[in-house]
Structure 1
């Protein structure tokens, strides 16, 4: 999954399920679809339409799994704290159109000669603190990549939400920043000698540091009595690439450090 869109979904699409009636039964399943219009790849100046599946499974407030949030376990879950292990999947990037497997229209030819980036699994942990009766959320994640990249990634999120359960419109506002080491940034933004010859870009080796920082917002509308017919989420995000990414010759010559994404998601929850 493209990095920017993964963060967008992580921060914005997590809200629809929370806006619906919380299940009294221990297991819950949420199924949805999320059309997204945004950069074809992180740092791209070209736009693409992707349709992401939104599938999430929860066991009480203990174990969770979804495409944007990954697989995690709230080992500590008390006094507003949640801590535990976390594993996520980062889908690959194709040089032919710059997109992930979920791209259906648009795309970019700027990556031709750069080669494909394979799927990566990122394993690590998270810590989260909820304040103001759960409306304010502070979260940090650190993950080590395997497969498509072998870098270390860290994400921080500060989010404020009004998650009503009476069928009225709810909202979400989040600030986030992502950091990574050279193992990650060189995979997605570096230009090797071989890539330089094939793509016609100057050789560039990136370093570690800030990859991107941004803000995202969402409006959530539960459907039916107390959200029993699912929820619609309209969301948008703005990200600005940090120097660890934006200094790359790939971004300076063929990309854009300012990234804007918009999307509309629908999800429906079952419980048993």
Structure 2
């Protein structure tokens, strides 16, 4: 669940952005998100946020359901391992979808590669682009997911920043069958038509957010994150008949930053 602090924390700075780079940060976000991918119903959740630079200059980031470790530069080329929590589909409110096969929460793992740029001549805006490849190795699905994303942060003052970002995700056929497919047994139990999706683009997404310095080390943030399911995922009867292609997540965050 990406929330304001979880996504924005990596770009925050306690005093002035150009001097000394970004801070260490720990925080928590509270927000509202769909119960499962494609759902109309919502659930309230709490997620962590962490950015920590080790003594050797390596960067550990943990924002919401995703954690990654950077073996590259703090500004420049970045790469390393990724671990993500993939939410399942259990105990849902929808009277039809609750008769479909259940999906457990599960961990994904893989790697990422990207580039981060800080503009130091004038207004210190920051851009980060990257991609990751994740798999579940058969615990809930086979195959993989590929995600491409970019973020932009602009300080309006020493205490206030605004940001935006977007990207897209591709998924294997097995991933789509698990999360968006309707088996013959599912159809008999729920009344939905049998549906066997293939692979391809799963979604496009975008977000806007803001961070405000509340005190010397304390920051607050807010964020709205929008996903639109596409391709075979968006055409699933789970989505078209019982849910919505447009998935909205929004929330607030609070964090403590230090050098």
- Listed one character per residue, the Cα deviations across residues 143-187 of structure 1 (whole Å, up to 9, x for unaligned) are 1113232230111112111257832x1011001111110111111
Contact 2:5 2:253 in 1 (8 A): no
TM-score, reference length from structure 2 = 0.84
Q: For 1:119-198, what aligned pairs fall within 5 Å after superposition? A: 119-133=105-119, 135-146=126-137, 147-163=139-155, 166-167=158-159, 169-198=160-189
Cα distance in 2 for partners of 1:210, 1:119 equals 22
- Listed one character per residue, the Cα deviations across residues 113-137 of structure 1 (whole Å, up to 9, x for unaligned) are 1132112221211111123526111
Contact 2:205 2:226 in 1 (8 A): yes
Q: For 1:75-154, what aligned pairs fall within 5 Å after superposition? A: 75-77=71-73, 80-94=76-90, 96-97=91-92, 107-133=93-119, 135-146=126-137, 147-154=139-146
Cα distance in 1 for partners of 2:33, 2:74 equals 37
Cα distance in 1 for partners of 2:63, 2:247 equals 22
Contact 1:12 1:172 in 2 (8 A): no
In the other structure, the counterpart of 2:239 is: 251
- Listed one character per residue, the Cα deviations across residues 86-112 of structure 1 (whole Å, up to 9, x for unaligned) are 222213321x22xxxxxxxxx544421
Secondary structure in structure 1 of the residue aligned to 2:240 = helix
**Pick from 206, 221, 224: which aligns with 1:233?**
221
TM-score, reference length from structure 1 = 0.80
Contact 2:113 2:132 in 1 (8 A): yes
Aligned residues: 246
CA RMSD of aligned residues (A): 2.7
Cα distance in 2 for partners of 1:132, 1:55 equals 21
Q: Which runs of 5+ in 2 are unaligned?
A: 120-124
Secondary structure in structure 1 of the residue aligned to 2:152 = strand
In the other structure, the counterpart of 2:32 is: 37
- Listed one character per residue, the Cα deviations across residues 28-54 of structure 1 (whole Å, up to 9, x for unaligned) are 56132x2222322221122x2312131
| TM superposition outliers: structure 1 runs of 4+ over 3 Å | 107-110
Cα distance in 1 for partners of 2:9, 2:75 equals 24
Contact 1:149 1:183 in 2 (8 A): yes
- Listed one character per residue, the Cα deviations across residues 184-229 of structure 1 (whole Å, up to 9, x for unaligned) are 111110011111111221110011111110210001112113xx1x
Answer yes or no: is 1:19 the counterpart of 2:12. Answer: yes
Q: Which runs of 5+ in 1 are unaligned?
A: 98-106
